[in-house]
Amino acid sequence: MTVSILNYGMANLRSVQKAFEAVGHDARIITTPDEVTSAERLVLPGVGAVGDALAHLRAQGLEGPILEHIAKGRPFIGICLGMQMLMERCTEGGEHRGLGVIAGDCVRLDVDKTHGLKVPH
């Protein structure tokens, strides 16, 4: 099984690739809309700020092919920032329109409600 990991400029690609290889899957890094369209299994990783990540995706013409991949019911996973981008709206660092795959908002945790506990990342 080949897993395609999308490089849009804001991801920990080698870590994700090594994880899939460690469990016996072929993992390739892709960058273009055409590669997303032809991917059997797609991974959307991410590290950084959600607004910047969405801007990178959209500037590279990747939003449509990602949404098409998901709509066709092909295997897909968003990791970290990749999962956040799937929401309808994200409020980290301002308000950003997400990809709209998952209904709801991705909001920053209220520090006052964490009772002084650090949230793992």
pLDDT tens, residue by residue, 91-100: 888 899 999 9
Question: Does the pLDDT at position 121 exceed 60?
Answer: no
In the chain, where are the structural domains located?
2-83
CATH top class, domain 2-83? alpha beta
pLDDT tens, residue by residue, 49-76: 999 999 999 999 999 999 999 999 999 9
Under DSSP, is residue 15 helix (H, G, I), strand (E, B) or coil? helix
pLDDT at 103: 93
C-alpha to C-alpha distance for 4 and 23, rounded to whole angstroms: 15
Residues whose CB is less than 8 angstroms from the CB of residue 81 and which lie 6 or more positions away in sequence, other chains included = 10, 11, 45, 46, 47, 48, 50, 53
